[in-house]
Structure 1
Amino acid sequence: MAAGAGNFTVVVAGELNVDIVVSGEEVVPEWNREKIIDGFEVVLGSSSAITACALASLGLDVRFVSVVGDDDFGVFCRAELRRLGVNTDGVTTLPGVKTGVTLSFTTPSDRGLLTYPGSIPLLTPAYIPDALLQEADHLHFGSYYLQDGMRPHWRELFRRVRARGVSTSFDTGWDVRNQWDVAGIRALLEETDLFVPSEDEVTRIFAEPEVDTLLEQLTSTAGLVAVKQGAKGAALRTQDGTVVYAGPYRVSPLDTTGAGDCFNAGIIHGYLLGYRDGELLRYANACGALSTLGIGGTGNLPTVAGVALLQGEQ
């Protein structure tokens, strides 16, 4: 386990893909029509990877575990992770497989995604070395519904690492199959210290449209539940069952891609530092807000100094 107030090791086990970001005011395609867009970028994608890069930007020792295809996109993903300070020794290249790709149609207020899975669902426990987990202070993953190879195994993995004192967190992402696996989520929450879904996701999972009511009913969780609410800020169900809220920071967003993943990084870092309740939520909100000031999920990663500056201004 790491020593020192801020010298934490986080293992992120998750999907890897590139994001091809098409940005502008009018990005929705129309059949048999051509449109001019404002921007086009090929950037590192994946909820897990963006969270990992944001954690590294915040100063943590981050180890990434994943699989990619033996193609140019796989090489790009590994190189971008390393460039952004993430250790990639745990990333395996699979021959004969294509790396996943997400097309992101992004406006200043929202985005829509189209994903080719490729290598995304192929991570399994066999690719996650136990020796690496023994070095961790925290274990995180994103995209619960896309990681088909890991979905049956997360609960046991979380149980094992928590028995060693390692804290755990996960983000669901959107269920493209619209099944939501509420039984699997409830079982996993019994071994989870930080559950960080969006409002749209969590209300679908538990079939309860009101976040307040939903958080009051989530009594089987082992830890905290933080619900990302976009322009409304975020809500947090604390360890004793009370619910606290934090409003958004006032920024002029260029691209919301990755804002939720940077929020995840902020809440993980804050949690490891001992922040709780409103302080924890405000720290995570600031990390998410800073992310929106660049294109792509890693275009403007949060830093400790950047968070302090933003919080000091508002």
Structure 2
Amino acid sequence: MDDDFLALRFENHREHLRGVAYRMLGSLTEAEDAVQEAWLRLSRSDAGAVENLAGWLTTVVGRVCLDMLRSRKARREEPLDVFVPDPIVSREEAGPEDEALMADSVGLALLVVLDTLTPAERLAFVLRDMFAMPFEEIAPIVGRSEAATRQLASRARRRVQGAPVAPDPDLARQREVVDAFLAAARGGDFEALVSVLDPEVVLRADRGPDDSVEVRGAAAVANQALTFSRLGAGGGVVRRALVNGAAGVVATREGRPFSVLGFTVAGGRIVEIDILADPDRLSRLDLAVLD
């Protein structure tokens, strides 16, 4: 098969593959690495003999991501480390150029839950529940029988369904709640902060290796928000944005991103706040979409 034609066919599947890899890994850079590895394997294969290129590529990306997840789990010394996935940031008034970003939008809260699954459970859930891949095609990837693969997906599904990961669908209402939270934080109004927080709210702040925190409960999260607000004062700029398709903000200082905050609003209150403040990871995010 002609190399240019093969490359064109691959590009037609790139966004789908990136969507699979991002949901598997929660990392934009690792997702790109997985997609690139799929291209390398395709270019070295007898592509002309591949009948279903989309299925073949999805299988390859699934296997690559599975290996990456297993390696990641093995590297983590402390499995309870707080890890906030890479956020996908776009403008609130999304234009055509933002469509590729929005296509990958899956809530940060859901990605956090997916990160608690075993690599095999995550792959089974993502490929089956998010991309409707048949179990008979998923089973060889995880090296299990079809029945065992169904059980993997079922266990993962119960985990996901037991977590508050579905935000209110009304984006304008989400924004009202987030704006009220930010105004209360800036004003140092503890009671106003508590009023927009769910009693069981969870805040996760990932500032890099060995510097992360998870806080639970409205009072504790309100106190943490006041602390963050004081630390972020002094020349900082907070810009509205969509973070994984939901109301969020990007905070910058001296023109550089300081943190990205994703909010999950359900029942008119904030149930989760995910903050990425790791300078190294922030530097790799493409925030030019906000300009």
TM-score normalized with structure 2 length? 0.30
